[in-house]
Homo-oligomer: A and B are copies of this chain.
Amino acid sequence: MNYSVSEENYIKAIYNLNGNKQPVSTNALAETLDTKPASVTDMLKKLKAKKLIVYQPYQGCRLSAEGVKVALNIVRRHRLWEYFLAEKLKFEWNEVHAVAEELEHVSSPKLIERLDEYLGFPRFDPHGDPIPDHEGKMQTLKQVKLTQLPLHTPAKVSGLTDQSTDMLELLRHRRISIGTAVEINRKFGFDHSVEIKIQDNPLFIISEQAAQHILVHHE
């Protein structure tokens, strides 16, 4: 099957709102897709007719098995393009999303397989999110919040729970990105800020608000 750009955007939005696990509300979809609830209802009917979601009026919607498959494919394309933009075209990691939002709809399977190969089969996008393979499988890391990383334990930044522009800007300024080696030197009980060391930079302190949105994995 081949889906329209709009249909694909809806399916991905449902997936991103955890619609493969819990039901997603009409309003939540309207919010993230920047459209009106009435328009969402229209589309939900169409997606239900195509058996991509299960949907009963007033009950929210969730992805069907087929819907999850389609969603994972769109997510795969999105994240591979993000990786390409960051790695090859040297886009900043806060710029890649908007462009990938368009590129993800180019529907040549061969293009995506070749791109994947060309990029060396990356498993994580520039935001640390896992890239599904051609079968939809993706690797998950056991991640901890930076605030919970034990002292003097070498770890790597592997994800973010806040991907807002403000957050990305702060991290760029601090020269922290996905893959950056990090180690906690000291924790301050008063405001829960942490003193960290990255690569060969001098020690510096990061606030609790920021640190709790930075995910790391170690060992």
Contact = CB atoms under 8 A, between A and B. Distances in A.
Interface of A: 85, 88-91, 95, 98-99, 102-103, 106-108, 110-111, 114-115, 118
A7 to B, nearest CB: 16
Contacts of A111: 85, 89, 99
A95 B90 CA distance: 27
B102 A115 contact: no
Contacts of A110: 91, 95, 99
A5 to B, nearest CB: 9
Nearest to A89: B114
A111 to B, nearest CB: 5
Contact of A91 (B98, B102, B107, B114): B114
A8 B46 CA distance: 28
Contact of A114 (B90, B103, B106, B107): B90
A98 B89 CA distance: 23
A199 to B, nearest CB: 26
Contacts of A95: 110
A107 B101 CA distance: 11
